[in-house]
Amino acid sequence: MRRERMGTLVALTVLTIALTGCGSNDFRTDGIEEVRVSESDGFSSFQERDVITFDESEAIRVFEDMLREADELPGVANSVGPEYDIEIRFEDGETDRYYLWLNDDPKSVSSLYDADDTNIGYRLPADVTEELINLLESGD
């Protein structure tokens, strides 16, 4: 009986990790063709001027990491307008849009919001933030 309980406990632990541990978002990362980034004018619309387009695989990988590693933030959306508008275009013609706040202070949070659902924010890890800052600075 004791061995059976131990097996059940291990199975429940593995299931819990599988359901909660592998990212806390459902952002699409497959088939990204290009990423367009511009300085934001705020929540109401996407900036169409001064757009930087990233379409090389190494740059796209940085944005894939951003989406893959974003963890849901508790609380309400950032009240200050976003720094960047990001438009991700996929090979199948679909487009996803995000608002981005970058903070190079490791004690502060960089965050990402889906433009279609600004009620939920996502925290970006410091290493991803650093990669994004470097990429955006090189794209100027």
Q: Which residues pair with 122 in a beta bridge?
A: 72, 112
Q: Write the CATH number for 109.
A: 2.60.40.4400
pLDDT digits (tens, 9 = 90+) for 67-93: 999 999 876 655 678 899 999 999 999
> What is the span of the domain harbouring residue 67?
32-138
**E strand residue ranges, the chain:** 32-39, 52-54, 71-73, 84-90, 95-101, 110-114, 117-124
Distance of alpha carbon 36 from the chain centroid: 14
Number of domains comprising the chain: 1
Instruction: Locate 42 and state its tokens.
Output: 């705020």
In a domain, 92, yes or no: yes
In a domain, 14, yes or no: no
In a domain, 124, yes or no: yes
% of the chain with per-residue pLDDT over 90: 54
pLDDT digits (tens, 9 = 90+) for 32-63: 999 999 999 877 777 777 899 999 999 999 99
In a domain, 10, yes or no: no
In a domain, 116, yes or no: yes
In a domain, 67, yes or no: yes
Using alpha carbons, select from 69, 88, 75 the residue that is nearest to residue 31.
Answer: 88
pLDDT band for position 133 (50/70/90)? very high
